[in-house]
Structure 1
Amino acid sequence: MRADGLSKGAGTAGSEAVLRLALKLDGAVSGLVAALSLLGARMLDEALGLPAWLHWGQGGFLAVYAAALWYGATRETVVRPIAVAAVVLNVVWALGCAALLTAGWFAITTLGVCYVGFIGVAVLVFASLQVAGLRRAAA
Protein backbone atom coordinates (compact mmCIF):
# COMPACT_ATOMS: atom_id res chain seq x y z
CA MET A 1 0.00 0.00 0.00
CA ARG A 2 1.09 3.54 -0.73
CA ALA A 3 0.81 6.40 1.77
CA ASP A 4 -2.36 7.62 0.05
CA GLY A 5 -4.09 4.30 0.73
CA LEU A 6 -4.02 3.09 -2.88
CA SER A 7 -2.26 -0.01 -4.04
CA LYS A 8 0.42 0.45 -6.67
CA GLY A 9 -1.87 -1.06 -9.32
CA ALA A 10 -4.70 1.36 -8.55
CA GLY A 11 -2.42 4.39 -8.85
CA THR A 12 -0.93 3.10 -12.09
CA ALA A 13 -4.34 2.43 -13.57
CA GLY A 14 -5.48 5.98 -12.79
CA SER A 15 -2.34 7.59 -14.21
CA GLU A 16 -2.63 5.48 -17.36
CA ALA A 17 -6.31 6.25 -18.01
CA VAL A 18 -5.65 8.99 -20.58
CA LEU A 19 -3.08 6.84 -22.38
CA ARG A 20 -5.41 3.83 -22.43
CA LEU A 21 -8.24 5.92 -23.82
CA ALA A 22 -6.02 7.51 -26.49
CA LEU A 23 -4.70 4.12 -27.62
CA LYS A 24 -8.17 2.57 -27.66
CA LEU A 25 -9.64 5.48 -29.64
CA ASP A 26 -6.78 5.33 -32.13
CA GLY A 27 -7.16 1.56 -32.36
CA ALA A 28 -10.92 1.70 -32.88
CA VAL A 29 -10.74 4.40 -35.57
CA SER A 30 -7.81 2.64 -37.26
CA GLY A 31 -9.78 -0.60 -37.26
CA LEU A 32 -12.77 1.08 -38.88
CA VAL A 33 -10.58 2.73 -41.53
CA ALA A 34 -8.87 -0.63 -42.11
CA ALA A 35 -12.22 -2.30 -42.75
CA LEU A 36 -13.36 0.54 -45.02
CA SER A 37 -10.09 0.42 -46.94
CA LEU A 38 -10.03 -3.34 -47.36
CA LEU A 39 -13.71 -3.79 -48.19
CA GLY A 40 -14.30 -0.62 -50.18
CA ALA A 41 -11.01 -0.14 -52.03
CA ARG A 42 -12.55 -0.15 -55.50
CA MET A 43 -15.30 2.27 -54.53
CA LEU A 44 -12.79 4.53 -52.73
CA ASP A 45 -10.52 4.43 -55.78
CA GLU A 46 -13.08 6.32 -57.85
CA ALA A 47 -14.46 8.55 -55.10
CA LEU A 48 -11.11 9.72 -53.72
CA GLY A 49 -8.84 9.48 -56.74
CA LEU A 50 -6.47 7.16 -54.91
CA PRO A 51 -5.65 3.72 -56.36
CA ALA A 52 -7.16 0.57 -54.89
CA TRP A 53 -3.71 -0.86 -54.11
CA LEU A 54 -3.07 2.08 -51.82
CA HIS A 55 -6.31 1.40 -49.92
CA TRP A 56 -5.50 -2.30 -49.62
CA GLY A 57 -2.03 -1.51 -48.31
CA GLN A 58 -3.41 1.04 -45.86
CA GLY A 59 -6.10 -1.38 -44.73
CA GLY A 60 -3.67 -4.21 -44.12
CA PHE A 61 -1.30 -2.02 -42.16
CA LEU A 62 -4.07 -0.43 -40.12
CA ALA A 63 -5.60 -3.80 -39.23
CA VAL A 64 -2.31 -4.90 -37.65
CA TYR A 65 -1.76 -1.46 -36.11
CA ALA A 66 -5.24 -1.39 -34.56
CA ALA A 67 -4.75 -4.85 -33.05
CA ALA A 68 -1.39 -3.83 -31.58
CA LEU A 69 -2.87 -0.67 -30.07
CA TRP A 70 -5.75 -2.57 -28.54
CA TYR A 71 -3.37 -5.18 -27.14
CA GLY A 72 -1.10 -2.51 -25.66
CA ALA A 73 -4.00 -0.59 -24.13
CA THR A 74 -5.75 -3.56 -22.53
CA ARG A 75 -2.86 -5.12 -20.59
CA GLU A 76 -2.75 -4.68 -16.80
CA THR A 77 -0.06 -2.05 -17.39
CA VAL A 78 -0.09 -0.22 -20.72
CA VAL A 79 2.66 -1.52 -23.01
CA ARG A 80 4.77 1.62 -23.17
CA PRO A 81 6.81 0.71 -26.30
CA ILE A 82 3.55 0.29 -28.23
CA ALA A 83 2.38 3.70 -27.02
CA VAL A 84 5.66 5.35 -28.04
CA ALA A 85 5.56 3.59 -31.42
CA ALA A 86 1.99 4.85 -31.89
CA VAL A 87 3.13 8.45 -31.40
CA VAL A 88 5.96 8.04 -33.91
CA LEU A 89 3.78 6.24 -36.46
CA ASN A 90 1.01 8.83 -36.14
CA VAL A 91 3.45 11.67 -36.82
CA VAL A 92 4.93 9.77 -39.79
CA TRP A 93 1.40 9.05 -41.05
CA ALA A 94 0.53 12.76 -40.88
CA LEU A 95 3.69 13.61 -42.85
CA GLY A 96 2.69 10.96 -45.38
CA CYS A 97 -0.74 12.56 -45.72
CA ALA A 98 0.89 15.93 -46.33
CA ALA A 99 3.20 14.41 -48.95
CA LEU A 100 0.26 12.67 -50.63
CA LEU A 101 -1.60 15.96 -50.87
CA THR A 102 1.31 18.04 -52.16
CA ALA A 103 3.41 15.71 -54.32
CA GLY A 104 0.96 15.34 -57.20
CA TRP A 105 1.38 11.56 -57.42
CA PHE A 106 -2.34 10.96 -57.97
CA ALA A 107 -5.32 12.86 -59.36
CA ILE A 108 -6.95 13.21 -55.97
CA THR A 109 -10.57 14.38 -56.01
CA THR A 110 -11.89 17.12 -53.74
CA LEU A 111 -13.40 14.42 -51.53
CA GLY A 112 -10.01 12.70 -51.52
CA VAL A 113 -8.27 15.89 -50.38
CA CYS A 114 -10.80 16.21 -47.54
CA TYR A 115 -10.38 12.53 -46.60
CA VAL A 116 -6.58 12.59 -46.57
CA GLY A 117 -6.50 15.98 -44.83
CA PHE A 118 -8.92 14.80 -42.15
CA ILE A 119 -6.84 11.68 -41.54
CA GLY A 120 -3.68 13.78 -41.28
CA VAL A 121 -5.25 16.00 -38.63
CA ALA A 122 -6.84 13.05 -36.80
CA VAL A 123 -3.55 11.18 -36.41
CA LEU A 124 -1.91 14.32 -35.03
CA VAL A 125 -4.72 14.60 -32.48
CA PHE A 126 -4.19 10.94 -31.52
CA ALA A 127 -0.43 11.53 -31.23
CA SER A 128 -1.05 14.56 -28.98
CA LEU A 129 -3.40 12.58 -26.73
CA GLN A 130 -0.90 9.73 -26.56
CA VAL A 131 1.96 12.09 -25.63
CA ALA A 132 -0.23 13.63 -22.92
CA GLY A 133 -1.07 10.13 -21.66
CA LEU A 134 2.57 9.05 -21.67
CA ARG A 135 3.55 12.16 -19.68
CA ARG A 136 0.77 11.66 -17.18
CA ALA A 137 1.63 7.97 -16.74
CA ALA A 138 5.29 8.85 -16.17
CA ALA A 139 4.45 11.47 -13.52
Structure 2
Amino acid sequence: MIPAVRNHQPIAVFYYGTVIFRKINEKPRLRIFANQELKELSGENDFIGPQLCFGGDSGFAGVHYPEDQVAVPVTGEVDVSLKVDASGNLQEEKVAAEHPPFLGFGEAAQADIANAKFIPAFRNGQPVACEVTLPLFYSPKS
Protein backbone atom coordinates (compact mmCIF):
# COMPACT_ATOMS: atom_id res chain seq x y z
CA MET A 1 0.00 0.00 0.00
CA ILE A 2 1.07 3.56 -0.63
CA PRO A 3 -0.28 6.84 0.80
CA ALA A 4 -2.78 8.83 -1.24
CA VAL A 5 -5.62 11.35 -0.90
CA ARG A 6 -9.31 10.80 -1.79
CA ASN A 7 -11.95 13.49 -1.20
CA HIS A 8 -9.37 15.55 0.72
CA GLN A 9 -8.81 12.69 3.20
CA PRO A 10 -5.59 10.70 3.67
CA ILE A 11 -5.95 7.04 2.73
CA ALA A 12 -3.84 4.14 1.55
CA VAL A 13 -4.16 2.59 -1.91
CA PHE A 14 -3.08 -0.59 -3.59
CA TYR A 15 -1.00 0.50 -6.55
CA TYR A 16 -0.63 -1.81 -9.55
CA GLY A 17 1.79 -1.16 -12.38
CA THR A 18 3.88 -2.74 -15.11
CA VAL A 19 7.54 -2.42 -16.02
CA ILE A 20 8.57 -3.36 -19.56
CA PHE A 21 12.21 -3.70 -20.56
CA ARG A 22 13.08 -4.24 -24.22
CA LYS A 23 16.02 -3.95 -26.50
CA ILE A 24 15.23 -1.75 -29.52
CA ASN A 25 17.90 -1.10 -32.16
CA GLU A 26 20.44 -2.62 -29.78
CA LYS A 27 19.58 -0.03 -27.11
CA PRO A 28 17.81 -0.73 -23.82
CA ARG A 29 14.35 0.73 -23.38
CA LEU A 30 12.55 0.82 -20.05
CA ARG A 31 8.88 1.80 -19.77
CA ILE A 32 6.92 2.09 -16.54
CA PHE A 33 3.12 2.07 -16.70
CA ALA A 34 0.60 2.71 -13.93
CA ASN A 35 -1.73 -0.06 -15.09
CA GLN A 36 -1.79 -3.76 -16.03
CA GLU A 37 -4.25 -3.73 -18.90
CA LEU A 38 -2.84 -5.48 -22.00
CA LYS A 39 -4.73 -3.21 -24.40
CA GLU A 40 -3.35 -0.10 -22.72
CA LEU A 41 0.17 -1.52 -22.46
CA SER A 42 0.37 -2.63 -26.10
CA GLY A 43 -0.61 0.88 -27.22
CA GLU A 44 1.68 2.51 -24.64
CA ASN A 45 -1.28 4.73 -23.78
CA ASP A 46 -1.34 7.55 -21.24
CA PHE A 47 -3.61 5.63 -18.86
CA ILE A 48 -3.40 5.33 -15.08
CA GLY A 49 -5.57 2.52 -13.75
CA PRO A 50 -7.93 3.04 -10.80
CA GLN A 51 -6.35 2.58 -7.39
CA LEU A 52 -8.15 0.50 -4.77
CA CYS A 53 -8.62 2.55 -1.57
CA PHE A 54 -8.09 1.24 1.94
CA GLY A 55 -9.61 3.57 4.53
CA GLY A 56 -11.67 6.74 4.31
CA ASP A 57 -15.11 6.14 2.80
CA SER A 58 -14.01 2.90 1.11
CA GLY A 59 -15.62 -0.28 2.37
CA PHE A 60 -12.52 -2.26 1.40
CA ALA A 61 -10.79 -3.61 4.52
CA GLY A 62 -8.33 -5.98 2.88
CA VAL A 63 -8.65 -9.52 1.59
CA HIS A 64 -10.12 -12.18 3.85
CA TYR A 65 -9.01 -15.77 3.38
CA PRO A 66 -12.03 -18.13 3.08
CA GLU A 67 -10.89 -20.34 5.99
CA ASP A 68 -14.24 -22.08 6.47
CA GLN A 69 -14.23 -23.35 2.85
CA VAL A 70 -10.60 -24.47 2.48
CA ALA A 71 -9.77 -27.77 4.23
CA VAL A 72 -6.07 -27.71 3.33
CA PRO A 73 -4.44 -24.25 3.40
CA VAL A 74 -3.43 -23.12 -0.10
CA THR A 75 -2.76 -19.77 -1.72
CA GLY A 76 -5.39 -18.40 -4.07
CA GLU A 77 -5.65 -15.77 -6.77
CA VAL A 78 -8.75 -14.12 -8.15
CA ASP A 79 -8.93 -11.80 -11.16
CA VAL A 80 -11.89 -9.48 -10.67
CA SER A 81 -13.31 -7.57 -13.66
CA LEU A 82 -14.36 -4.11 -12.52
CA LYS A 83 -16.27 -1.16 -13.91
CA VAL A 84 -15.30 2.02 -12.07
CA ASP A 85 -16.82 5.44 -12.83
CA ALA A 86 -14.89 8.71 -13.22
CA SER A 87 -15.48 9.50 -9.54
CA GLY A 88 -13.94 6.23 -8.36
CA ASN A 89 -17.19 4.48 -7.50
CA LEU A 90 -17.47 0.76 -8.20
CA GLN A 91 -20.27 0.18 -10.70
CA GLU A 92 -19.90 -3.55 -11.30
CA GLU A 93 -17.65 -6.43 -10.32
CA LYS A 94 -17.46 -10.06 -11.40
CA VAL A 95 -14.98 -12.89 -11.07
CA ALA A 96 -13.02 -13.31 -14.31
CA ALA A 97 -10.75 -16.11 -13.07
CA GLU A 98 -10.21 -18.02 -9.83
CA HIS A 99 -7.32 -20.32 -8.97
CA PRO A 100 -7.72 -22.83 -7.53
CA PRO A 101 -11.43 -23.05 -8.36
CA PHE A 102 -14.26 -24.15 -6.07
CA LEU A 103 -12.54 -23.23 -2.78
CA GLY A 104 -14.39 -19.98 -2.11
CA PHE A 105 -11.74 -17.53 -3.30
CA GLY A 106 -14.06 -16.00 -5.92
CA GLU A 107 -16.85 -15.45 -3.40
CA ALA A 108 -14.34 -14.01 -0.91
CA ALA A 109 -13.05 -11.58 -3.54
CA GLN A 110 -16.55 -10.37 -4.40
CA ALA A 111 -17.35 -9.85 -0.72
CA ASP A 112 -14.03 -8.08 -0.10
CA ILE A 113 -14.41 -5.67 -3.03
CA ALA A 114 -18.19 -5.09 -2.90
CA ASN A 115 -18.13 -1.70 -1.11
CA ALA A 116 -14.73 -0.51 -2.30
CA LYS A 117 -13.93 2.98 -3.50
CA PHE A 118 -11.14 3.89 -5.89
CA ILE A 119 -9.04 6.80 -6.92
CA PRO A 120 -10.41 6.99 -10.46
CA ALA A 121 -8.54 6.05 -13.60
CA PHE A 122 -6.95 8.85 -15.61
CA ARG A 123 -6.50 9.11 -19.36
CA ASN A 124 -4.43 11.99 -20.70
CA GLY A 125 -4.61 13.64 -17.28
CA GLN A 126 -8.41 13.52 -16.94
CA PRO A 127 -10.46 11.20 -14.69
CA VAL A 128 -12.37 8.61 -16.74
CA ALA A 129 -14.69 5.66 -16.28
CA CYS A 130 -12.99 2.38 -17.10
CA GLU A 131 -13.14 -1.39 -17.15
CA VAL A 132 -10.11 -3.15 -15.66
CA THR A 133 -9.10 -6.48 -14.20
CA LEU A 134 -7.77 -6.40 -10.66
CA PRO A 135 -5.79 -9.35 -9.26
CA LEU A 136 -6.38 -10.23 -5.60
CA PHE A 137 -4.10 -12.67 -3.78
CA TYR A 138 -5.05 -14.86 -0.81
CA SER A 139 -2.64 -16.56 1.59
CA PRO A 140 -3.51 -18.71 4.63
CA LYS A 141 -2.50 -17.41 8.03
CA SER A 142 0.86 -18.74 9.16
Higher helix proportion, which one? Answer: 1
Q: Same fold (TM over 0.5)?
A: no
Flag the structure with more relative contact order, 1 or 2, with Cα contacts below 8 A and sequence separation at least 6: 1
- The TM-score with structure 1 as length reference comes to 0.24
The structure number with the bigger radius of gyration is 1
Higher strand proportion, which one? Answer: 2
- The TM-score with structure 2 as length reference comes to 0.24
